[in-house]
Homo-oligomer: A and B are copies of this chain.
Amino acid sequence: MDVAHSEVLEVGIPVACRSCQARHGVVCGVLSSGQLKDLGRHSLRRKVDAGCEIIAQGSENSFYSNIMRGVVKLCKMMPDGRQQIVGLQFAPDFVGRPFVRESTLSAEAATDAEICVFPRNLLDRMISETPELQRSLHDQALKELDAAREWMLTLGRRTAEEKVASLLHLIATHAEPQTATSTAFDLPLSRAEIADFLGLTIETVSRQMTRLRKSGVIRIENFRHIIVPDMDELERMISA
């Protein structure tokens, strides 16, 4: 667990990286073993509790992270306190905004999480030296852009019920344990956070959840645990 001094194995991969969730992710998956060693030497694993802020909106962007475990939410806050979640990131996503000094959003652990933090300067240098890395990050940015635009459709044009169904579908799609026809997962978000993601209030979220439960589309255990007996049924509710 405590592998601060990174030792080089036969293949030249730091031990801390060997079993890492993000080892084959957007960043580390395309680095040479030398670069990985270099990055490993300057990076720090960190456990963060749910609710812990990783990047503050308006702060200087001085480091980046990889998510090794858990879910991170990206939030935008208005001066009067209104809040909107603008993205969710799952292991092994990369978190950070290259090429810009100040962050326009905050990143906060939605669940207990583990992240691997490394200095901005180092990665920026590697990006400029490694076309593969540039390409990989470009690719993630485009995927996030697609996701953001998909969510714009949800925010602008779907009803409350469709919004909640869309969120459940998003989570189900990005959480792991799945069987052929039935899916179960733990919600990484509280009702308040779901509301902030969907542009609704907690009460409306709660009502729509019980509506979906009563109509048999989902089962709910202990508030956070969701079972989707028939995924197609859930998809039909989204009508897209």
Contacts and interface: CB of A to CB of B under 8 A. Distances in A.
A20 to B, nearest CB: 25
A211 interface: no
A191 to B, nearest CB: 16
Interface stretch (A7-15, A35-43, A145-153, A218-226): A145-153
B100 A157 contact: no
A240 B81 CA distance: 11
A139 interface: yes
Number of copies: 2
A104 B146 contact: yes
Contact of A240 (B79, B155, B156): B79
- Which of A139, A141, A158, A198 has its CB near the most chain B CB atoms (within 10 A)? A141
Contact of A148 (B98, B149, B158, B199): B149
Contact-residue bracket for chain A: 35 or more
A153 B82 CA distance: 9
Contact of A134 (B78, B82, B131, B239): B131
Interface stretch (A83-91, A115-123, A175-183): A83-91
A60 interface: no
A153 B158 CA distance: 16
Given A80-B239, A141-B142, A152 B148 contact: yes
A210 to B, nearest CB: 22
Interface of A: 74, 76, 78-80, 82-84, 86-87, 97-100, 104-105, 128, 131, 134-135, 137-139, 141-142, 144-146, 148-153, 155-158, 196, 198-199, 239-240
27 contacts: A74-B149, A78-B239, A79-B239, A80-B239, A82-B157, A82-B158, A84-B152, A84-B156, A84-B157, A86-B152, A87-B149, A98-B142, A99-B138, A104-B149, A128-B135, A134-B134, A137-B138, A141-B142, A141-B145, A144-B145, A148-B148, A148-B152, A151-B152, A152-B152, A155-B155, A155-B199, A156-B199
